[in-house]
């Protein structure tokens, strides 16, 4: 896909550039020679004045064309006891950024989550599989503070800047920050046995694939067939439980020399796993809208995991 990318005429502002996705996206933008400016906590998204002041300052060097927000409160369990901070970051913050984007004539991409759904699934009448993946227009019904505040953030964004793009993603992992793949590799190298939840279904998503998808969305918006603003789903293709994901990490990790000993993997139920908050049991997202709008296919989760682990080996 990289050959299709061409530099933007004016800079992009990447908010949350030090997080897992933000760091990955920064590296891609740098590699592609796409002009951008990045901020993290130093420009507090809960402060409309700080956002406006930064946009004002940047505009003196060339109008900001796009804003992408990767900043968020992502500690799902902690959020249950830290509701106000979580709400400020996940709901008010994106609303503030959308207002700044509208004011300064920039287009806006907000990242959101599969946790806006309750995970009970949409029953699939007359077919063998019990559920179909969630579509963008399915009713949201978050079951925890994190999902609720992200859902409210989506609403604030669309209220304040109706031409925004909201990309819901899920189960992210990548080179930077703490994530399931890193945790599993560490535990599998340390322990004789690891228990993993086998009753939550989702789609593991490589932050590098999502970064490429975000850049291609921007490029498409500058082309003749610009995707319509609004909600889109993007994850890697396929669905698996956390246990199935862990089993593949183990298999590939051993064959690539990233796991240097044997470790027994045991499936368990969510009820056995102490967690502050209930997580959706089935949060697979339907990506048809994104694939159709961009004319692209999306890599399957297991192929992307393989490419990621090979890059680490």
> Which are the catalytic amino acids?
146
**Does the protein bind ligand NAP through residue 181 (CB under 6 A)?**
no
**Does the protein bind ligand NAP through residue 100 (CB under 6 A)?**
no
Residue from 71, 208, 218, 265 touching ligand NAP (CB under 6 A): that is: 71
Check if the beta carbon of residue 252 is closer than 8 Å to that of residue 259: no
Check if the beta carbon of residue 236 is closer than 8 Å to that of residue 203: yes
Residue from 5, 14, 21, 98 touching ligand NAP (CB under 6 A): that is: 21
**Does the protein bind ligand NAP through residue 260 (CB under 6 A)?**
no
- By beta-carbon proximity to ligand NAP, the closer residue of 263 and 289 is 289
Residue from 8, 29, 70, 91 touching ligand NAP (CB under 6 A): that is: 70
In the chain, where does DSSP find H-type helix?
20-32, 48-59, 83-87, 93-103, 145-160, 180-190, 207-221, 242-255, 288-294, 301-312
Site string for ligand NAP, 111-150 (x = CB under 6 A): x-x------------------------------------x
Q: Which of 84, 63, 70, 60 is nearest to 29 (CA)?
A: 70
Query: What does the block give as tokens for 85?
Result: 């901070």
Question: Residue 193 carries which DSSP code?
Answer: E
Residue from 5, 12, 14, 20 touching ligand NAP (CB under 6 A): that is: 20
Beta bridge partners of 233: 168
Q: Which of 70, 58, 63 is nearest to 105 (CA)?
A: 63
Check if the beta carbon of residue 280 is closer than 8 Å to that of residue 115: yes
CB of 71 to ligand NAP, least distance (A): 3
Residue from 72, 166, 184, 217 touching ligand NAP (CB under 6 A): that is: 72
Q: Which of 122, 81, 137, 125 is nearest to 281 (CA)?
A: 122
Please choose, out of 41-49, 225-233, 274-282, 288-296, the segment that lies near ligand NAP by the rule CB under 6 A: 41-49
Question: Residue 282 carries which DSSP code?
Answer: B
- By beta-carbon proximity to ligand NAP, the closer residue of 58 and 263 is 58
Please choose, out of 42-50, 97-105, 191-199, 270-278, the segment that lies near ligand NAP by the rule CB under 6 A: 42-50
Residues near ligand NAP (CB under 6 A): 16, 18-22, 40-41, 44-46, 70-72, 74, 89, 111, 113, 150, 169-172, 177
């Amino acid at each position: 896909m990289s050959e299709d990318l061409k530099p933007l005429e004016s800079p992009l502002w990447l908010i949350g550039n030090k997080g897992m996705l933000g760091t990955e996206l920064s590296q891609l933008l740098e590699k592609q020679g796409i002009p951008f400016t990045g901020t993290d906590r130093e420009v507090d998204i809960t402060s409309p004045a700080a956002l406006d002041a930064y946009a004002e300052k940047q505009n003196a060097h060339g109008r900001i064309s796009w804003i992408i927000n990767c900043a968020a409160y992502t500690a799902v369990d902690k959020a249950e006891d830290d509701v106000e901070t979580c709400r400020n970051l996940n709901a008010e913050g994106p609303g503030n950024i959308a207002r700044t984007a509208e004011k300064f004539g920039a287009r806006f991409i907000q990242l959101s989550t599969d946790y806006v759904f309750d995970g009970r699934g949409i029953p699939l009448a007359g077919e063998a599989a019990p559920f179909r993946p969630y579509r963008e227009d399915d009713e949201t019904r978050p079951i925890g503070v994190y999902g609720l505040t992200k859902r409210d953030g989506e609403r604030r964004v669309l209220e304040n800047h109706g031409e925004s793009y909201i990309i819901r993603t899920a189960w992210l992992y990548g080179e930077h920050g703490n994530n399931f793949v890193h945790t599993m590799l560490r535990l599998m190298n340390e322990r004789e046995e690891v228990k993993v939840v086998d009753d939550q279904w989702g789609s593991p998503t490589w932050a590098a694939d999502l970064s490429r998808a975000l850049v291609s969305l921007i490029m498409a918006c500058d082309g003749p067939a610009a995707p319509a603003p609004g909600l889109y789903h993007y994850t890697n293709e396929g669905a698996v439980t956390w246990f199935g994901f862990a089993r593949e990490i183990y298999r590939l990790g051993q064959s690539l020399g990233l796991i240097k000993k044997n470790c027994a993997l045991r499936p368990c139920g969510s009820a056995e796993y102490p967690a502050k908050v209930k997580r959706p049991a089935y949060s697979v997202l339907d990506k048809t809208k994104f694939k159709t709008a961009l004319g692209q296919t999306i890599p399957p989760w297991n192929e992307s995991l393989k490419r990621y682990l090979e890059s680490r080996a």
